[in-house]
């Protein structure tokens, strides 16, 4: 090993991905030990460190070329030993000055004071805080001010973060590319507008409101009269994800669907106030849209809507079919009840999308309007590779049999569908057409009846959902 050419040695190390294997190879000889330490750029630590700070100091001293570090204490309890605290970030900043990505999860003993140490990591571009309860708005502001190259910020369940001064500073820095804020109760849809000039270069936004916090306040008006929406420029936004948000006209982030010319991926998860006009505007503005996920409550909460605005309807899907020719992933879900009795759309509108767009993946949940006729039309699709049906009770064996006609189909997933049985999947047996068939909680499909229907089969049966 001592005579091995340097380039060959490095190539060997690059091909070893498992941490346990890298640890093992580092004890073969001094040269591999040194080379592995120089090449290790990713490290994940947590409950296994004991004693915590001494072990962490040794790791940082050895792996000084770290580019990405994750400190994760998910599932921690006092019996597992002490957690890393503020001193850990001081040790990190003293040894690993090339660090680019830092993630802290369930770190109960790291607070605002520790953030200042990150100023010694001039290349830090990504910071993730997942339930770090002792870090407040003051700490986030410190991170924004001391990490001048910060372009990615993820805040998840940070309950003490409320002030939006840090959002204004982050927007003014001009470096922000990706922002994710999930279930931080002190930050509302209106607060995000305060990014100001930061919207201009933002490429990805993921904003989720805690459902238990939002729904009791549905009638609170988050009006934007005092904010100049026209000054918000988001022409570079590629991915937008909104969960449990109010997007009725004049509320929250409602204006975004009308301004994102470069949008490629859109997720609207249980958002209140989504309008037909929003989909029409989206189809006209975002012709590059490739993936759309819409999970809608069947109850419209119409009291927050104005009389002159129409809810989603067939024309909404038809507008997308006409204006988004690159749409290849469509996920429609209606999630309020196990047995829904209504829908915004009809099967004809969905068929229009399938026929006009190169749909590669179609996922339907509680789509009561979709039946065997839709499956027959779907059978003529030349592009479909992934089909997922969940609680689509009007699809029967006759419709399911059309899967065999799909030339490109590779994956089929069936969840809680009561209208299908082994008979519908029989045409697939021994054809080797599917790479994956997943069947979960479908009462009339058996594990023996689908043997040989795909190269890989996942089968689970729990019918408690029916009772």
CB 72 within 8 A of CB 103: yes
- The count of other CB atoms within 10 Å of the CB of residue 144 is 24
Question: From CA 126, how far away is CA 68, in angstroms rounded?
Answer: 9
Q: How many domains does the chain have?
A: 4
Whether 242 and 347 share a structural domain? yes
- What's the rounded mean pLDDT across residues 55-73? 93
Give the model's pLDDT for residue 247: 79
Give the model's pLDDT for residue 140: 94
Better pLDDT: 218 or 118 = 118
Task: State both tokens at 208.
Answer: 């989720």
Whether 276 and 414 share a structural domain? no
- The pLDDT > 70 percentage for the chain reads 88
Whether 223 and 334 share a structural domain? yes
Residue 214 pLDDT level (bands cut at 50, 70, 90):
low
Classify residue 204: in a domain, yes or no.
no
Summarised one tens digit per residue, pLDDT across range 19-42 is 777 777 776 777 776 767 667 788
Give the model's pLDDT for residue 37: 65
> Is a pLDDT exceeding 80 seen at residue 216?
no
- Tell how many helices (H) and how many strands (E) occur in the chain: 16, 16
Give the model's pLDDT for residue 332: 93
Question: From CA 274, how far away is CA 380, in angstroms rounded?
Answer: 31
Whether 302 and 225 share a structural domain? yes
Classify residue 141: in a domain, yes or no.
yes
- What's the rounded mean pLDDT across residues 152-163? 93
Residue 228 pLDDT level (bands cut at 50, 70, 90):
low
Task: State both tokens at 381.
Answer: 């699709």
Whether 416 and 459 share a structural domain? yes
CB 280 within 8 A of CB 318: no
Query: Model pTM?
Result: 0.86
CB 403 within 8 A of CB 377: no
- Which residue range is the domain that position 27 belongs to? 1-39
Whether 223 and 237 share a structural domain? yes
> Is a pLDDT exceeding 70 seen at residue 300?
no
Give the model's pLDDT for residue 66: 92
* CATH, residue 435: 3.80.10.10
Whether 105 and 234 share a structural domain? no
Q: Classify residue 379 by its DSSP letter.
A: T
Question: From CA 412, how far away is CA 408, in angstroms rounded?
Answer: 12
Whether 96 and 153 share a structural domain? yes
Residue 3 pLDDT level (bands cut at 50, 70, 90):
confident
Whether 239 and 333 share a structural domain? yes
Give the model's pLDDT for residue 459: 96
Give the model's pLDDT for residue 434: 95
Whether 112 and 238 share a structural domain? no
Give the model's pLDDT for residue 225: 44
């Amino acid at each position: 090993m001592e005579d091995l050419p340097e380039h060959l040695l490095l190539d060997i190390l690059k091909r070893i991905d498992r941490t346990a294997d890298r640890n093992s190879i580092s004890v073969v000889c001094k040269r591999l030990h040194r080379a592995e330490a120089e090449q290790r750029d990713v490290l994940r630590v947590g409950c296994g460190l004991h004693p915590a700070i001494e072990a962490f100091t040794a790791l940082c001293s050895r792996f000084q070329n770290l580019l990405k570090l994750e400190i994760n204490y998910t599932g921690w309890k006092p019996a597992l030993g002490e957690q890393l605290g503020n001193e850990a970030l001081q040790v990190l900043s003293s040894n690993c000055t090339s660090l680019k990505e830092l993630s802290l999860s369930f770190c109960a003993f790291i607070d605002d004071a520790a953030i200042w140490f990150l100023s010694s990591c001039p290349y830090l571009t990504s910071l993730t805080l997942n339930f770090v309860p002792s870090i407040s708005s003051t700490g986030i502001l410190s991170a924004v001010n001391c990490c001048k190259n910060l372009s990615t910020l993820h805040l998840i369940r940070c309950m003490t973060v409320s002030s939006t001064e840090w959002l204004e500073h982050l927007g003014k820095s001009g470096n922000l590319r990706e922002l994710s804020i999930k279930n931080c109760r002190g930050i509302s849809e209106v607060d995000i507008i305060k990014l100001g000039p930061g919207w201009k270069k933002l490429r990805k936004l993921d904003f989720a409101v805690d459902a238990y916090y939002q729904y009791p306040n549905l009638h609170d008006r988050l009006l934007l009269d005092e904010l100049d929406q026209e000054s918000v420029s988001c022409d570079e936004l590629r991915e937008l994800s909104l969960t449990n948000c109010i997007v009725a006209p004049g509320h929250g982030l409602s204006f975004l669907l009308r301004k994102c010319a470069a949008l490629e991926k859109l997720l609207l998860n249980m958002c209140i106030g989504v309008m037909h006009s929003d989909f029409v505007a989206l189809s006209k503005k975002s012709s590059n849209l490739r993936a759309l996920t819409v999970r809608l409550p069947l109850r419209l909460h119409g009291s927050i809507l104005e009389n002159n605005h129409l809810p989603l309807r067939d024309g909404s899907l038809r507008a997308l079919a006409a204006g988004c020719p690159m749409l290849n992933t469509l996920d429609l879900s209606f999630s309020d009840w196990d047995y829904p009795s209504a829908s915004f759309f009809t099967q004809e509108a969905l068929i229009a999308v399938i026929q006009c767009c190169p749909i590669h993946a179609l996922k339907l949940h509680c789509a009561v309007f979709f039946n065997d006729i839709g499956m027959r039309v779907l059978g003529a699709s030349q592009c479909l590779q992934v089909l997922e049906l969940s609680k689509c009770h009007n699809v029967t064996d006759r419709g399911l049999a059309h899967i065999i006609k799909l030339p490109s189909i590779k994956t089929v997933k069936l969840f809680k569908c009561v209208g299908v049985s082994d008979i519908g999947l029989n045409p697939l047996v021994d054809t080797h057409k599917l790479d994956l068939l997943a069947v979960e909680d479908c009462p009339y499909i058996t594990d023996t009846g689908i043997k040989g229907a795909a190269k890989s089969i996942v089968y689970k049966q729990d019918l408690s959902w029916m009772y």
